[in-house]
Amino acid sequence: MGMLKDKVAIVTGASSGIGRAAAMLFGAEGAAIILNARGRPGLEEVADAIRARGGRAHVVAGDVSLPETHDELVADAIRLFGGLDIAFNNAAVVGPIRPLVEVALSEWQETLATNLTSAFLASRSQIPAMLERGSGAIIFTSSFVGTSVGLPGMGVYAAAKAGLMGLVKAITADYASKGIRANALMPGGVDTAMAGDEAQKEWAAGLHAMKRIAQPEELAQAALFLASPMSSFVAGSALFADGGNSAVK
């Protein structure tokens, strides 16, 4: 324990699923956590759980598609804990699941705002604070959807998740020489509310070489690798934690 001792981390989408598991793990490893999601009650439960284990946590409820949310997250990281070292930009929505020509422009814009534009807004707020520290690790939750495979009816989600890899490479080109490491985590199916009902989870399991979907804690471990000194020479990359999904397509 203590892999992130004295570090300060932002985790978005932290009230459930991968974000909650990562926040709990990062806190257990010694980081002070700024927790974000839209709903405050779920965040407060996670914050209480981190504190009960001796960790430090602070809640900022807000919409990641708004620039002021990211400004507040970074400002609170600096004000309360002295700076920012790690950002796990994990919040996302599935968006409409229909053939592309049946998707309304407003649905396209809303899904990209949460899944892709939010990553730009986050980075724009986070990078200056990390430069002040002399280094930083930024992690985005992408997906096998849009990067290794297309799925019927998921064109908007795929476009947004694929776009994150372009952002990762751009941040690397601009800031890796200044100590900022940006990487994308590529989950396969994960046992969260976003995975749907049991029938949908069983179908998703069949896509994976391991013939199962992941638990959120397994993705949190992969995020910890990217956040920690274990990945000190990993920048601009995509880490597939997808049960072999991409390998068998």
The residues carrying an active-site annotation are 157
Short-list 205, 150, 6, CA closest to 86: 6
* Alpha carbon separation from 225 to 46, 87, 148, 202, 237 (Å, rounded): 21, 13, 22, 28, 13
* Alpha carbon separation from 221 to 29, 102, 184, 229, 239 (Å, rounded): 11, 38, 14, 13, 12
- The set of residues, in sequence order, having a beta carbon less than 8 Å from that of 24 and lying 6+ positions away, is 46, 49, 50, 220
Which residues does residue 190 pair with via DSSP β-bridges, in sequence order? 214
CA distance 204 to 191: 10
Tokens of 98: 């229909």
Which residues does residue 183 pair with via DSSP β-bridges, in sequence order? 139
Is residue 226 within 8 Å of 137, Cβ to Cβ?
yes
Query: DSSP per residue over 203-239, as a string?
Result: HHHTTSTTSSPBPHHHHHHHHHHHHSGGGTT--S-EE
